[in-house]
Amino acid sequence: MVYVGFSTPKLWNPLSWAIRAATGSRASHAWLLVEDPLFDHRLVLEASSAGFRLIPLARFARTELVVAVLQPAGDLEAGLREAGDWLGEAFDVRGLLGMAWVVLGDLLRVRRRWCNPLRSRRALFCSEAVIRTMRAAGYPGSARLGVEATTPAALLGFLSGEPGARRVDGATLSVGALTRAQRRDLRARTWPVT
């Protein structure tokens, strides 16, 4: 199972504060939550200042306040193979700064959405990585989301409005190892090997 998560740093961060203030959202970061049977853990796949990486949810939760976790209406697992190719890619600092231009256009309510002038084809920022994974999985409606012009708040709004998507109660997401039933369910799935 692949979930989409939204968070903000537990410690004050000026960039996170600016994103939340500009978008009116509690979330400043978007990421994927993957249940992995090999490591027997829930892992966060995220574009962060350290680059595009995979870390245990328990480690992630030490520094991030989870705002929401959603189970999308469609399956995102098919997009993980492509997302795996991005592991180790740099964080798109310039593209993130260019998002300020996009958000300014949104705040001014311009008729035609402004494009991110500083986007990069090689580096990633958080919501961009999630949307690219959604597109790789063939998620319905993801083509309407601007890969390099969608904020975590806009992505949260899109997924929250999807029929069949549901919020996952934080109490059901343990930050450590998977339960015996979850491991059994994951092992029962067939994993494509190519």
Q: Residue 192's pLDDT is what?
A: 39
Whether residue 129 is contained in a domain is answered as: yes
Whether residue 74 is contained in a domain is answered as: yes
Residue in the structure block whose two tokens are 């705040």: 107
Whether residue 15 is contained in a domain is answered as: yes
| 124: enclosing H helix or E strand | none
Whether residue 95 is contained in a domain is answered as: yes
Q: Residue 176's pLDDT is what?
A: 55
Q: And the tokens for 120?
A: 């990069």
Whether residue 43 is contained in a domain is answered as: yes
Q: Residue 63's pLDDT is what?
A: 95
Classify burial at 136, counting beta carbons within 10 Å of its beta carbon; exposed 0-12, middle 13-18, buried 19 or more: middle
What's the structural domain count of the chain? 1
Any idea what the CATH number is for the domain that residue 62 is in? Answer: 3.90.1720.10
Whether residue 194 is contained in a domain is answered as: no
| 78: enclosing H helix or E strand | none
Residues 181, 172 contacting (CB under 8 angstroms): no
Q: Which domain holds residue 182?
A: 2-188
Q: Residue 155's pLDDT is what?
A: 96
Q: Residue 99's pLDDT is what?
A: 67
Whether residue 118 is contained in a domain is answered as: yes
Whether residue 193 is contained in a domain is answered as: no
The mean pLDDT values, 10 residues at a time, for the chain of 194 residues are 95 87 91 90 90 93 94 96 90 66 71 69 80 96 86 94 89 60 54 37
Q: Residue 18's pLDDT is what?
A: 83
Per residue, the 3-state secondary structure of 80-123, as one string, reads HHHHHHCCCCCECHHHHHHHHHHHHHHHCCCCCCCCCCCCCCCC
**pTM of the prediction?**
0.80
